[in-house]
Amino acid sequence: MLTGDKPIFQQIADHISGEILAGTYAEESQVPSTNEFALFYRINPATAGKGVNLLVDQGVLYKKRGIGMFVATGAQDILRTHRRRDFIAGYITPLIDEARTLGLSQDEVLSALRAGFNTDGVGGVKAQLDSEGSGEQA
Boundaries of every domain in the chain: 8-73, 76-131
Greater confidence (131 vs 101) lies with 101
Q: What is the pLDDT of residues 86-129, one digit of tens each?
A: 999 999 999 999 999 999 999 999 988 888 777 765 555 566 65
Q: How far apart are CA 20 and CA 111, in angstroms?
A: 33
Q: What is the pLDDT of residues 8-62, one digit of tens each?
A: 999 999 999 999 999 999 999 999 999 999 999 999 999 999 999 999 999 999 9
Measured CA distances, 36 to 17, 18, 27 (Å): 16, 18, 20
Mean pLDDT, rounded, for 3-11: 91
Q: Which fold has domain 8-73?
A: Arc Repressor Mutant, subunit A (1.10.10)
Which pLDDT does position 119 carry in this prediction? 73
